[in-house]
Protein backbone atom coordinates (compact mmCIF):
# COMPACT_ATOMS: atom_id res chain seq x y z
CA UNK A 1 0.00 0.00 0.00
CA UNK A 2 2.67 2.42 1.03
CA UNK A 3 4.80 1.26 -1.87
CA UNK A 4 1.97 2.05 -4.27
CA UNK A 5 1.74 5.58 -2.96
CA UNK A 6 5.45 5.94 -3.51
CA UNK A 7 5.20 4.85 -7.12
CA UNK A 8 2.43 7.30 -7.92
CA UNK A 9 4.97 10.06 -7.32
CA UNK A 10 5.98 10.65 -10.88
CA UNK A 11 2.73 10.22 -12.79
CA UNK A 12 1.35 13.57 -13.70
CA UNK A 13 -2.31 13.72 -12.75
CA UNK A 14 -3.31 15.56 -9.62
CA UNK A 15 -0.04 14.71 -8.01
CA UNK A 16 1.96 17.46 -9.66
CA UNK A 17 -0.53 20.02 -8.39
CA UNK A 18 -0.20 18.71 -4.87
CA UNK A 19 3.57 18.89 -5.08
CA UNK A 20 3.55 22.41 -6.49
CA UNK A 21 1.07 23.70 -3.92
CA UNK A 22 2.84 22.00 -1.05
CA UNK A 23 6.11 23.57 -2.16
CA UNK A 24 4.49 27.00 -2.09
CA UNK A 25 3.11 26.47 1.41
CA UNK A 26 6.34 25.03 2.79
CA UNK A 27 8.29 27.91 1.33
CA UNK A 28 6.03 30.55 2.83
CA UNK A 29 5.35 29.07 6.25
CA UNK A 30 7.92 26.37 6.79
CA UNK A 31 7.34 22.67 7.40
CA UNK A 32 5.76 22.57 10.84
CA UNK A 33 3.76 25.77 10.47
CA UNK A 34 2.15 24.37 7.34
CA UNK A 35 -0.88 22.19 7.94
CA UNK A 36 -2.16 19.61 5.52
CA UNK A 37 -5.41 21.55 5.56
CA UNK A 38 -3.53 24.63 4.38
CA UNK A 39 -2.23 22.78 1.36
CA UNK A 40 -5.63 21.24 0.67
CA UNK A 41 -7.45 24.57 0.96
CA UNK A 42 -5.02 26.15 -1.47
CA UNK A 43 -5.70 23.29 -3.84
CA UNK A 44 -9.43 23.85 -3.53
CA UNK A 45 -9.67 20.36 -2.08
CA UNK A 46 -9.61 18.55 1.26
CA UNK A 47 -7.20 16.41 3.21
CA UNK A 48 -8.65 13.30 1.66
CA UNK A 49 -7.02 14.08 -1.65
CA UNK A 50 -3.57 14.53 -0.14
CA UNK A 51 -3.69 11.51 2.15
CA UNK A 52 -4.77 9.49 -0.83
CA UNK A 53 -1.30 10.02 -2.35
CA UNK A 54 0.89 10.58 0.68
CA UNK A 55 0.79 8.65 3.90
CA UNK A 56 2.04 11.53 6.04
CA UNK A 57 2.95 15.17 6.01
CA UNK A 58 6.60 14.23 6.31
CA UNK A 59 6.41 12.04 3.23
CA UNK A 60 4.90 14.91 1.28
CA UNK A 61 7.68 17.21 2.41
CA UNK A 62 10.33 14.69 1.46
CA UNK A 63 8.81 14.28 -1.97
CA UNK A 64 8.92 18.03 -2.57
CA UNK A 65 12.51 17.92 -1.39
CA UNK A 66 13.35 15.15 -3.81
CA UNK A 67 11.71 16.95 -6.71
CA UNK A 68 13.73 20.05 -5.86
CA UNK A 69 16.97 18.07 -5.91
CA UNK A 70 16.04 16.42 -9.19
CA UNK A 71 15.50 19.80 -10.81
CA UNK A 72 18.89 20.96 -9.58
CA UNK A 73 20.57 17.92 -11.08
CA UNK A 74 18.74 18.34 -14.36
CA UNK A 75 19.96 21.92 -14.52
CA UNK A 76 23.58 21.35 -13.55
CA UNK A 77 24.58 17.93 -14.87
CA UNK A 78 24.14 18.71 -18.59
CA UNK A 79 26.48 21.73 -18.50
CA UNK A 80 29.02 19.79 -16.48
CA UNK A 81 30.18 18.04 -19.63
CA UNK A 82 30.79 21.04 -21.86
CA UNK A 83 34.18 21.79 -23.40
CA UNK A 84 36.66 23.99 -21.56
CA UNK A 85 38.91 24.33 -18.57
CA UNK A 86 37.74 23.72 -15.03
CA UNK A 87 36.97 27.34 -14.38
CA UNK A 88 34.86 27.61 -17.53
CA UNK A 89 32.83 24.55 -16.66
CA UNK A 90 32.47 25.58 -13.04
CA UNK A 91 31.15 28.97 -14.07
CA UNK A 92 28.56 27.36 -16.30
CA UNK A 93 27.50 24.99 -13.51
CA UNK A 94 27.15 27.74 -10.94
CA UNK A 95 25.15 29.86 -13.34
CA UNK A 96 22.85 26.96 -14.13
CA UNK A 97 22.44 26.35 -10.41
CA UNK A 98 21.57 29.98 -9.74
CA UNK A 99 19.05 29.99 -12.58
CA UNK A 100 17.45 26.84 -11.24
CA UNK A 101 17.25 28.34 -7.76
CA UNK A 102 15.23 31.22 -9.12
CA UNK A 103 13.13 29.25 -11.58
CA UNK A 104 12.08 26.76 -8.89
CA UNK A 105 12.12 29.07 -5.90
CA UNK A 106 9.48 27.17 -3.96
CA UNK A 107 11.01 23.74 -4.39
CA UNK A 108 14.51 24.95 -3.67
CA UNK A 109 13.36 26.76 -0.56
CA UNK A 110 12.13 23.39 0.64
CA UNK A 111 15.50 21.85 -0.21
CA UNK A 112 17.19 24.48 1.95
CA UNK A 113 14.80 23.67 4.78
CA UNK A 114 15.56 20.03 4.28
CA UNK A 115 19.23 20.65 4.91
CA UNK A 116 18.29 22.04 8.28
CA UNK A 117 16.28 18.90 9.00
CA UNK A 118 19.22 16.56 8.64
CA UNK A 119 19.24 16.32 12.39
CA UNK A 120 15.49 15.94 12.54
CA UNK A 121 13.92 13.17 14.53
CA UNK A 122 12.32 11.25 11.72
CA UNK A 123 9.73 9.14 13.45
CA UNK A 124 9.46 5.96 11.42
CA UNK A 125 12.47 3.95 10.24
CA UNK A 126 11.10 4.29 6.72
CA UNK A 127 11.26 8.06 6.93
CA UNK A 128 14.74 7.90 8.38
CA UNK A 129 15.83 5.93 5.35
CA UNK A 130 14.24 8.41 2.98
CA UNK A 131 15.94 11.27 4.81
CA UNK A 132 19.30 9.53 4.61
CA UNK A 133 18.74 9.10 0.88
CA UNK A 134 18.12 12.81 0.50
CA UNK A 135 21.25 13.63 2.45
CA UNK A 136 23.24 11.37 0.16
CA UNK A 137 21.75 13.01 -2.92
CA UNK A 138 22.64 16.41 -1.54
CA UNK A 139 26.22 15.25 -0.92
CA UNK A 140 26.42 13.95 -4.45
CA UNK A 141 25.26 17.31 -5.77
CA UNK A 142 27.89 19.15 -3.80
CA UNK A 143 30.55 16.73 -4.98
CA UNK A 144 29.78 17.62 -8.60
CA UNK A 145 31.12 21.07 -7.90
CA UNK A 146 34.03 19.81 -5.83
CA UNK A 147 35.03 17.53 -8.66
CA UNK A 148 35.12 20.28 -11.28
CA UNK A 149 36.82 22.58 -8.78
CA UNK A 150 39.56 20.01 -8.38
CA UNK A 151 39.88 19.61 -12.13
CA UNK A 152 40.26 23.36 -12.40
CA UNK A 153 43.02 23.34 -9.82
CA UNK A 154 44.70 20.50 -11.69
CA UNK A 155 44.55 22.17 -15.10
CA UNK A 156 45.78 25.45 -13.62
CA UNK A 157 42.68 27.49 -14.34
CA UNK A 158 41.81 27.72 -10.65
CA UNK A 159 44.04 28.78 -7.77
CA UNK A 160 45.15 26.24 -5.17
CA UNK A 161 42.24 26.78 -2.78
CA UNK A 162 40.68 24.52 -0.14
CA UNK A 163 38.20 22.59 -2.27
CA UNK A 164 35.70 21.84 0.46
CA UNK A 165 35.54 25.32 1.94
CA UNK A 166 35.46 27.06 -1.43
CA UNK A 167 32.65 24.83 -2.62
CA UNK A 168 30.59 25.52 0.48
CA UNK A 169 31.17 29.27 0.26
CA UNK A 170 30.30 29.47 -3.43
CA UNK A 171 27.23 27.30 -3.11
CA UNK A 172 26.29 29.31 -0.03
CA UNK A 173 26.38 32.56 -1.95
CA UNK A 174 24.05 31.03 -4.52
CA UNK A 175 21.80 29.12 -2.15
CA UNK A 176 21.33 32.31 -0.18
CA UNK A 177 19.18 33.38 -3.13
CA UNK A 178 16.37 31.38 -1.61
CA UNK A 179 16.47 33.72 1.37
CA UNK A 180 16.29 37.06 -0.35
CA UNK A 181 15.29 36.46 -3.96
CA UNK A 182 11.69 37.25 -4.81
CA UNK A 183 10.69 37.36 -8.48
CA UNK A 184 9.91 40.87 -9.65
CA UNK A 185 6.47 41.26 -11.26
CA UNK A 186 7.72 42.03 -14.77
CA UNK A 187 10.87 39.96 -14.54
CA UNK A 188 12.21 38.27 -17.66
CA UNK A 189 14.51 35.32 -18.14
CA UNK A 190 17.18 37.79 -19.24
CA UNK A 191 16.90 39.66 -15.92
CA UNK A 192 17.48 36.46 -14.01
CA UNK A 193 20.35 35.54 -16.29
CA UNK A 194 21.96 38.92 -15.59
CA UNK A 195 21.56 38.48 -11.84
CA UNK A 196 22.90 34.93 -11.92
CA UNK A 197 25.96 35.93 -13.92
CA UNK A 198 26.80 38.80 -11.60
CA UNK A 199 26.69 36.61 -8.54
CA UNK A 200 28.66 33.85 -10.23
CA UNK A 201 31.26 36.21 -11.67
CA UNK A 202 32.11 37.47 -8.21
CA UNK A 203 32.52 33.92 -6.99
CA UNK A 204 34.57 32.81 -9.96
CA UNK A 205 36.89 35.80 -9.84
CA UNK A 206 37.59 34.88 -6.24
CA UNK A 207 39.18 31.59 -7.19
CA UNK A 208 40.50 31.95 -10.74
CA UNK A 209 44.22 31.94 -11.28
Q: Which residues make up the interface to DNA (CB under 7 A)? A: 4, 8, 13-14, 34-38, 40, 44-49, 51-52, 55-58
DSSP string computed for 84-128:
S-HHHHHHHHHHHHHHHHHHTHHHHHHHHHHHHGGG---SSHHHH
Contacts of 186 (CB under 8 A, 6+ apart): none
Contact between 112 and a second copy by CB under 8 A: the answer reads: yes
The residues in 11-30 that bind a second copy, with binding defined as CB under 8 A, are 28, 30
Which of 102, 174 has the CB closer to a second copy? 174
CA distances from 90 to 71, 134, 150, 155, 163 (A): 18, 24, 10, 13, 13
Q: Which does 107 bind (CB under 5 to 8 A by kind): DNA, a second copy, none?
A: none
Q: Which does 40 bind (CB under 5 to 8 A by kind): DNA, a second copy, none?
A: DNA
Smallest distance from DNA to CB 44, Å: 7
Q: Which does 161 bind (CB under 5 to 8 A by kind): DNA, a second copy, none?
A: a second copy
Amino acid sequence: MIENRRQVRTDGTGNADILETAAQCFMEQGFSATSIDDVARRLGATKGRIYHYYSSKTDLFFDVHREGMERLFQAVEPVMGIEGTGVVRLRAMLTAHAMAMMANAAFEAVVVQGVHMHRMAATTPDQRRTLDDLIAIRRRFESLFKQVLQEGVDDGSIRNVDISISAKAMLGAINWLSVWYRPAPDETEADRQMLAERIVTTQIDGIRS
